Structure 1
């Protein structure tokens, strides 16, 4: 391993445009991002990408603050190992449960700087376990450009859910825009992204609320409104249920 970062937080916009690096680059996009792949802009959130040595890499943050995990590594037998596991290269793959990444990258980060003789072998084992788990847990081979009739529309809808949660979007209004029934849209969405529309609506609203609570003195009622909630009481109940804290408690926890 050359270097790694776990839950790397960027408070300024991030843009990566590079090519020709002599090592693998693994990135897990914990926050909204966009990548240029095969001439198309692909939205990312909860996806991982493994870029092989020498590849072109173009991606950027699509929200602030932006958070990701990354590993730069070399391995003599990596190509064969990754191929046997079916790990795609330069292709986004949705990962509903990031626990394999949490375990591996945090462990590797804690080992950075140590010079013990067994260090390389231990790091290699962490990487091997991570990719083995990813090959089992990833529900699809990723965001395939053009692989689904409604892929472009679904991707645009998902981006809007996170970028504009204050719109107060409902499943019915989203379905009407594409000309589908609500139930069919929900089925397509779950198949494509591994989560329901309702889950992403809540996630987008709470992400916006957390950002406003942590980075401003906006009153809670205004935070609720800006996050797409028409009822402050409903916002407070849902926030407490999903985070374990009230909005006020969450705000105070970020100021410690």
Structure 2
């Protein structure tokens, strides 16, 4: 999935209105945090805060504020291949019609991460954004189709928000006491519920989150192993190296070397393939790109 543009926690005046008779030229995902009005093939539909809307490419886009401030998260994107298109179909997310979801807090975390990655210009920002978009839609589908008999009600949603916070800030000094307090649960009840829902203990999930963040920093920055250990919440380099190796099977330096070598090889193959396809010429006069503004 390729992100074209993305925005998080945008606020607009009461006269905010979007009118795109031919759509925006791509797909558009909206998370609307305030009352709004959509005009679809079904007519005019008033919606409550906590509504999502997935516009497919080419669908007319008409929506506006319901008389007050209009707040939303959004991202324009394009499926890159048939696998991406099949994923959207298989997740069974309604297209081109607003859906009341309720709490958007968990999904907003993903959009916030997309914003950070999309505008970071990091070595792996494109790949990271692709993964975040797919995770976003998997989570959205899960929330839309969650049923009470699966044991995943409001408590699951609240617990998922706690888990998202861990992954969003793995360097924080997370403790069972603090996490349980946030859920208004006892230590034992919180640990039991967390593992039942996610298949991993809370503190092992903290380790997984820190390892994931460390892997990203090792691949995309020149920071030393010691500095990355600190950025991921470790006070001891030795402890960091031990836990990283336990999770990944590699020392941090080995991981960095392998990932960077792979990235260089992939880029070399892309250049070679491009030169073969274009006879070695440099066709730099590509087509113009039309910029879009806002949601």
**Count of paired positions:** 163
Structure 2 counterparts to residues 166-185 of structure 1, below 5 A: 166-185=171-190
8 Å contact 1:43–1:159 — kept in the other structure?
yes
Q: How big is the shift at 1:13?
A: 6.2
Q: How big is the shift at 1:211?
A: 0.8
Q: How big is the shift at 1:41?
A: 1.4
Gapped runs of 5+ residues in structure 2? Answer: 8-26, 30-53, 60-84, 92-98, 118-127, 262-295
**SS of equivalent residue, structure 1 residue 228:** coil
- Looking at structure 2, the residues matched to 192 and 221 of structure 1 have their Cα atoms a distance apart, in angstroms, of 34
TM-score (norm 1): 0.51
Counterpart of 1:195 in structure 2 is 200
8 Å contact 2:210–2:233 — kept in the other structure?
yes
Stretches of 4+ moved more than 4 A in 1? Answer: 12-16, 20-24, 141-144
- Looking at structure 2, the residues matched to 26 and 42 of structure 1 have their Cα atoms a distance apart, in angstroms, of 24
TM-score (norm 2): 0.45
- Looking at structure 1, the residues matched to 129 and 102 of structure 2 have their Cα atoms a distance apart, in angstroms, of 24
8 Å contact 1:92–1:143 — kept in the other structure?
no
Counterpart of 1:43 in structure 2 is 106
- Looking at structure 2, the residues matched to 255 and 143 of structure 1 have their Cα atoms a distance apart, in angstroms, of 43
Q: How big is the shift at 1:251?
A: 1.0
Counterpart of 1:68 in structure 2 is 131
Counterpart of 1:246 in structure 2 is 251
**SS of equivalent residue, structure 1 residue 167:** coil
Deviations 1:52-79 (Å, cap 9, x if unpaired)? xxxxxxx8473542343999xxxxxxxx
Distance 1:250 1:229, change over 3 A: same
Counterpart of 2:227 in structure 1 is 222
Counterpart of 1:255 in structure 2 is 260
**SS of equivalent residue, structure 1 residue 168:** coil
- Looking at structure 1, the residues matched to 180 and 191 of structure 2 have their Cα atoms a distance apart, in angstroms, of 9
8 Å contact 1:9–1:66 — kept in the other structure?
yes
Gapped runs of 5+ residues in structure 1? Answer: 1-7, 29-35, 45-58, 72-87, 94-140
Which of residues 131, 138, 141 in structure 2 aligns to 1:91?
A: 141
2:273 maps to 1:237: no
Counterpart of 1:109 in structure 2 is none
RMSD in angstroms over aligned alpha carbons?
3.9
**SS of equivalent residue, structure 2 residue 234:** coil
- Looking at structure 1, the residues matched to 146 and 208 of structure 2 have their Cα atoms a distance apart, in angstroms, of 21
Q: How big is the shift at 1:219?
A: 1.1
For the pair shown, the structure with the greater C-alpha radius of gyration is 2
Counterpart of 1:19 in structure 2 is 55
Which of residues 164, 167, 184 in structure 2 aligns to 1:162?
A: 167
- Looking at structure 2, the residues matched to 219 and 166 of structure 1 have their Cα atoms a distance apart, in angstroms, of 16
